């Protein structure tokens, strides 16, 4: 539904633009593939690396806890025939408690990771929008389209210009 609305809005804008153009006037129109710009921007690579570094130790800790639980489960399955009822019950409770604790930590980890990703993506998206606007001004574009463009010829696709601008800006 949103795509159809964007297509309608883009079509209406282009229709209005085309009907208001004088025969002598020409307009420079560009299109940007924002997803490609985001994927290829050095800022996004830097953010991914920073987040990975930030969360690596917690991820390793969770993996370690998973291994510990697996070892306890293996011990329980191997020794349950020779354990007393009290020892067996204690070990079962310990395993259940550790599983519950691990699940809580994994959920917190995912929430924290998603929050940080979103936080960094918002910053990068703002920077990309500013870069698109600056590239459009520098190259004297009259109109730049992004979302809702189903096709843009390489002649008007300015995504590479924006990516180059972002690379220069990151240095």
Cβ(139)–Cβ(158) below 8 Å: yes
For the CA atoms of 92, 97, 99, 104, what is the dihedral angle to 10 degrees?
170
| Cβ contact 162:132 at 8 Å | yes
- What is the rounded distance in angstroms from the CA atom of residue 54 to the CA atom of residue 117? 11
Look up the domain containing 54 and give its range: 2-170
> Could you report the average pLDDT of every consecutive run of 10 residues in the chain (171 residues)?
55 56 72 88 94 96 96 89 89 94 97 96 92 90 82 79 88 78
Closest CA to 162 of 146, 150, 142: 146
Instruction: List the structure tokens of 33.
Output: 């593939």
pLDDT at 54: 95
CB 91 within 8 A of CB 72: yes
Distance CA 129, CA 32 (A): 10
Give the number of other CB atoms < 10 A from CB of residue 132: 23
**pLDDT at residue 120, as a whole number:** 95
Q: Running DSSP on this structure, what letter comes out for residue 39?
A: H
Region for 148 from its dihedrals, namely left if φ exceeds 0, alpha if ψ lies in -120 to 50, beta otherwise: left
Q: Which helix (H) or strand (E) holds 131?
A: helix 85-138
Residue 44 is predicted with a pLDDT of 93
- Supply the pLDDT for residue 22: 53
CATH code, domain with 34: 3.30.910.20
Q: What is the crossing angle of helices 159-170 and 42-79, to 10°?
A: 80
- Total of domains in the chain: 1
């Amino acid at each position: 539904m949103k795509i159809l609305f964007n297509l309608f809005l883009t079509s209406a804008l282009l229709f209005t633009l085309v009907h208001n153009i004088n025969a002598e006037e020409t307009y420079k129109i560009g299109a940007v593939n924002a997803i490609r710009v985001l994927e290829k921007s050095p800022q996004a690579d830097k953010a991914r690396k920073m987040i990975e570094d930030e969360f690596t130790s917690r991820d390793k800790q969770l993996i370690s806890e998973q291994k510990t639980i697996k070892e306890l489960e293996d011990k329980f399955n191997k020794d349950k025939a020779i354990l007393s009822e009290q020892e067996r019950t204690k070990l079962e409770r310990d395993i259940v408690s550790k599983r519950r604790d691990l699940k809580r930590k994994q959920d917190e980890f995912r929430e924290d990771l998603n929050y940080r990703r979103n936080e960094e993506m918002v910053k990068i998206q703002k920077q990309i929008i500013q870069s698109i606007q600056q590239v459009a001004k520098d190259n004297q574009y009259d109109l730049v389209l992004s979302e809702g463009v189903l096709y843009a010829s390489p002649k008007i696709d300015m995504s590479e210009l924006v990516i180059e601008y972002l690379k220069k800006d990151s240095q």
